[in-house]
Amino acid sequence: MPEPATVWMVHKETGRAGIRGELILESQRLIFRPELRTAKPDMLGETVFALHDVEKVGRARGSPVLELRVAAPGVPPVVLFYFVKPPDIYSSGMPNPRFAGASFLMQSNALLAEEVASWEREIQAAHRARGA
């Protein structure tokens, strides 16, 4: 199992900035534990994904983002884990904020590609080991 990692969880209920916290992989579940000082009051509890509910795990090529597709009640079907703070392309003063955001993610990926790939492999292996 990989060491816990600092990530930002982003899904339809968190908003674009996401929530900073710690990603933890156990033999039967993936846990996101929010950082208490930055989480919204309604997002203070852990988010637990049973590995048998994970339909797919992958990553966007060229970015340090892990994508989880989940089939469980009460959990958004798509959850993203950014291994860097998500770029704010919506209030950026840059001439082309989408390009600047994509460029930032690509540059960050140069440093984090192996870590994100390792998480992807470990989650897939744990998922297979569960027989899911």
pLDDT tens digits for range 44-62: 688 999 999 999 999 888 8
pLDDT tens digits for range 83-127: 988 876 666 566 666 666 666 667 777 788 899 999 999 999 988
pLDDT at 43 over 70: no
Cβ(5)–Cβ(12) under 8 Å? no
**How much is the pLDDT for 127?**
83
User: Residue 7 has which token pair?
Assistant: 């990530």
Domains and CATH numbers, the chain: 5-129 (2.30.29.30)
Cβ(5)–Cβ(83) under 8 Å? yes
Task: Tell me the pLDDT band of 131, cut-offs 50, 70 and 90.
Answer: low
Strands 5-10 and 54-59: unpaired
The secondary structure of residue 77, as a DSSP letter, is: S
**How much is the pLDDT for 50?**
93
Tell me what the mean pLDDT of segment 27-41 comes to.
81
Q: Which position has the higher pLDDT, 109 or 13?
A: 13
Cβ(43)–Cβ(19) under 8 Å? yes
pTM, entire model: 0.83
